Amino acid sequence: MPMEHGRRQGVVAIECVAGGSRAEEWGPGSSETVQTGDVVEEILIGVGGRGGPAAHAAPFKGGRAAVQRLLHSAYKRGDTSVEVRVRRPAHAQQLVTTSGELLPSPAAGAATTTTARMQACIVPQEAAVGGGGAMMAVVGRSRQYVLRSIRDPNYAVGFVDRMESECIAIRGSRSSRVVCALSKAQLQDGYVAYPWEKKMREALPIPNSSSFLSMLVLPTALDRAASRYNSVEDTLARANAWILSSQSSGVPISFLNVQTEALLTKISGETASATVNSGSLADLPNLANASLYGFEDYHGVDIGVVKAVRVWYTAAAGEMPVEITLEAGDTKLGFAISRTEEGFIYISSVMEDDSGFLAPSTRSGLRDLYREAKRASKLLVISRVSGQKVLPWMVSTSGAIRCFDTVSLSQKLSLHRHALRPILLHLLMWEGKSADAPARPHEPRLPPQPAPYPEFAAGLVRQDSFGGGELPRQDSFAIGELRRQGSYGVELVRQDSFACTEPPPVRRGDLQGRDTAGDTSFRFHNFSLPNNWV
């Protein structure tokens, strides 16, 4: 029942516990929304049920506790559909200072009241505010209930005991309520599902594989026991030298970033005594340029932290896919591969077509790309074979570069030819020859595919296909060396210059040196083809 505004009498008032997404409190429809500070006049429980709703009107003996008992009983019965009716001072006005304090205005006594109502359902308070809400005090250990709006499920209100004058003060000034709401507003965060598999297939230039390339450079060990290492500055210098040397040799890559990377390892004995200790904050200055430092864990085990350097780079103009289709009459792939000192594998030579015969390298456009790369003084670097990256990826503590072997790659490519399975290569493109450039009109044999990648120019290696005898071995980075094996033997050339080298005649029983990369040599065994491979 209505009460005079000036009486200091206790009432049950509305308290917002979860804000609505529609922000109607400050909009033109705010008079129709139940808001903080409204005085509860009547609660109808069981709206829409048989026999009509049960009405409970103010004053509520026991205040908020009595209302909670009503809601609890209704919730247990399943009568969760309710309607709450409230009244509020419509014209009470108060002034707001710059600090947000409320000052009564002379016209406050002439306030009138309006009414509002809200269709809602009864829910436990933890369900409405996410379980962690401290908007309302919990009486004892009993469950507390709030009303969730049917119109806006994000909007929920509860009940509090207040004096009438307090409700007038809360509702008196719209500006003060905006300031109050702003001070209490908190941004919410959470997790949302994301279609990673779909995005990785559709958004990436190469499905399910990143275009970020990197080289991890470990610090150089100063002794065979690997107990002492060069400084971080030395590792940075070696990483810088590697990227610059790669670019100067014709590898079409662009530098992106460099970072130090901490690698944990267990250390003991001489290594533990030689490392910089990081047991306290006072030791931090000593770690700035140290490549290895240690500390003890809770069990007294010495843990070492190795500071490596990771160089991030990318193709200068992207990666271009080239598919080499094979036919039954193909006896050669028509190109040879080699490897730079920095560990990059590249097309070192292409075969000129015999009369009336188009090699697979010609049909795929690989020969034309090679010629363009040579004109641009770039190397035609292979970045992926059948989707697998074949780029160098690590420098060991001895200084050796871990990279892929050209002999095993030649073997795999030749197996593709014998199996008549197409070969998918990705090539690094160079500036001025982007992977998105259209094919030239005077090259009708080129299939419709993006134009070449980074520029390439360098030594030439030659690979035909398989032969029946021993698999050739290749000395790492030998200049101008070539061995040719058998009728379908793999031709392998090591050449660091840009000039073509004629292969010397092969002698029976010739073996080539093994190809080393990293700390461990690549080991190859004799490989013979079945008799039905011709």
Predicted confidence band of residue 152 (pLDDT cuts 50, 70, 90): confident
pLDDT at 34: 84
Q: What is the pLDDT of residues 187-243, one digit of tens each?
A: 989 999 999 999 999 999 888 988 889 999 999 888 776 667 888 899 999 999 999
CA distance 533 to 285: 66
CA distance 118 to 43: 10
Q: Where are the beta strands (DSSP E) in 316-379?
A: 319-324, 335-339, 345-350
Structure tokens at 364: 């795929």
**Is residue 342 within 8 Å of residue 400, measured between CB atoms?**
no
pLDDT at 147: 92
At residue 504, does pLDDT exceed 60? Answer: no
Angle at which helix 174-184 crosses helix 164-172, to 10 degrees, equals 90
Predicted confidence band of residue 36 (pLDDT cuts 50, 70, 90): confident
Predicted confidence band of residue 429 (pLDDT cuts 50, 70, 90): very high
At residue 523, does pLDDT exceed 80? Answer: no
At residue 516, does pLDDT exceed 90? Answer: no
Mean per-residue pLDDT, 323-351: 90
CA distance 156 to 461: 74
Contacts of 87 (CB under 8 A, 6+ apart): 2, 38, 39, 41, 113, 114, 115, 116
| More confident position, 297 or 516 | 297
| More confident position, 189 or 105 | 189
pLDDT at 478: 34
Least confident stretch, 45-54, 224-233, 302-311, 488-497: 488-497
Contacts of 371 (CB under 8 A, 6+ apart): 350
If you average pLDDT over every residue of the chain, what do you get? 72
Mean per-residue pLDDT, 411-419: 90
| More confident position, 524 or 306 | 306
Mean per-residue pLDDT, 498-516: 41
Mean per-residue pLDDT, 68-95: 80
CA distance 359 to 166: 91
**Omega before 59 within 30 of 0, i.e. cis:** yes
Residue 28 Rama label (left phi>0; alpha psi -120 to 50; beta): alpha
Q: How far is CA 135 from CA 187, 358, 370, in A?
A: 16, 79, 71
pLDDT at 298: 64
Predicted confidence band of residue 490 (pLDDT cuts 50, 70, 90): very low
Which domains, ranges and CATH numbers included, belong to the chain?
A: 10-184 (no CATH), 213-315 (no CATH), 319-391+403-494 (2.30.42.10)
Q: What is the DSSP string of 263-325?
A: EEEE--THHHHHSEE-SSGGGHHHHTT-SEEEEE-TTS-EEEEEEEEEEEEEEBTBEEEEEE-
Instruction: Choose among 318, 339, 348: nearest CA to 427.
Output: 318
pLDDT at 51: 72
Q: How far is CA 413 from CA 134, 353, 393, 419, 490, in A?
A: 67, 19, 22, 10, 10
pLDDT at 8: 62
CA distance 358 to 355: 8
Contacts of 241 (CB under 8 A, 6+ apart): none
CA distance 117 to 100: 29
What percent of the chain has a predicted confidence (pLDDT) above 90? Answer: 31
- The conformation of residue 222, written as its DSSP 8-state character, comes to S
At residue 142, does pLDDT exceed 90? Answer: no
Contacts of 354 (CB under 8 A, 6+ apart): none
Phi, psi of 422 (to 5 degrees): -60, 150
Name the one residue in this structure whose structure tokens are 């009716």.
Answer: 85
- The conformation of residue 478, written as its DSSP 8-state character, comes to -
- The conformation of residue 3, written as its DSSP 8-state character, comes to -
Sign of CA dihedral 12, 18, 22, 25: positive
pLDDT at 232: 87
Q: pTM value?
A: 0.54
**Is residue 34 within 8 Å of residue 157, measured between CB atoms?**
yes
Q: What is the DSSP string of 115-160?
A: EEEEEEEEEEHHHHHTS---SSPPPTTSPPEEEEESS-TT-EEEEE
Contacts of 304 (CB under 8 A, 6+ apart): 264, 265, 266, 267, 271, 272, 275, 292, 293, 294
pLDDT at 322: 92
